[in-house]
Amino acid sequence: MAQTTHAHVLILGSGCAGWTAAIYAARAELKPVLISGSTPGGQLATTTEVENYPGFEKGIMGPELMEIMQKQAERFGTRTEYGLVTKADLSTRPFRLTTDADADFTCDALIIATGAAPRMLGLPAEQQLLGHGLSTCATCDGAFFKGKDIIVVGGGDSAMEESLYLSRLVRKVTLVHRRHEFRASKIMQERVLKNDKIDIKWNRQVVEVFDPAQGKVTGARLEATDNGVVEDLAVDAVFLAIGHEPNTALFKGQLDLDPNGYLLVHDGTKTKIPGVFAAGDCVDHVYRQAVTAAGMGCMAALDAERWLGAQECA
């Protein structure tokens, strides 16, 4: 029978929110245990250079930033466990969780920082080119392509926002949408349609991104959804703006989620269950930045510390 590990504070997720929560919880002598999740380091572990995280004047590679955060959290006493939580029982305290390695954990307070995964097109080249001209975040990576030609894929408000933002930086934006009309709000559509730097390719889908052999994006192949006609465009980057999937399925039926699956919180980072807190991209579908995730991780740790203190005094 597997031994159960008990933690005063258990943290799920090893992105900016998770590690920041761990740093604060550990410094508060809460002896946190952090379970890494399926992607140690979160989304930043799959990026290259990060230039917009405060404190790094010349930028820093995403995996290196995550490694530094982990070492900082562990220096103060955080215990790191590698694995993915597959079962969670939040009906009674202590809360009970099980990982894919059949390791069992209980905790007095739980911080959920499981993040979100960007939706991808499912093309073979995506994983090879992610962070090398293929991006899911214009705010993060747009500055690398000043004066260049780029593609944005999508038809919702996110795609409109990304296109408008990038149009201020790049030479030309080609907005590729698989239908003949956008799903975005009318005002966002109007702004895009009036922008001379944005060229719209209706009824098109990206079927191939070039060129993994060169280690960077050099172009993309578009296919018409109505007649199958193919065309190749020479571009320096492809930005995917087709949405994110929050990693919250485990908590469906136990915690409140919005229609898109994001965890709902109140009074900071509190969920509807006392003692359960949430932070980062599993909550935030608006900003989705490393620094905002870190800020929420700090909030969650402080909320957990205060909640635990109140329980001990009761």
Give SS3 for 43. Answer: helix
**Quick one: which of 179, 225, 232 has its CA closest to 210?**
232
Q: Give every CB contact of residue 267 below 8 A, 6+ residues apart in sequence.
A: none
- What whole-number distance in Å separates Cα of residue 218 and Cα of residue 238? 9
Query: Under DSSP, is residue 218 helix (H, G, I), strand (E, B) or coil?
Result: coil
Give the Cα separation of 117 and 296 in Å (integer). 18
Catalytic sites, residue numbers: 137, 140-141
The candidate with the shortest Cα–Cα distance to 221, out of 151, 311, 302, is: 151
* CA dist list (Å): 70 to 7, 38, 245, 248: 18, 16, 25, 23
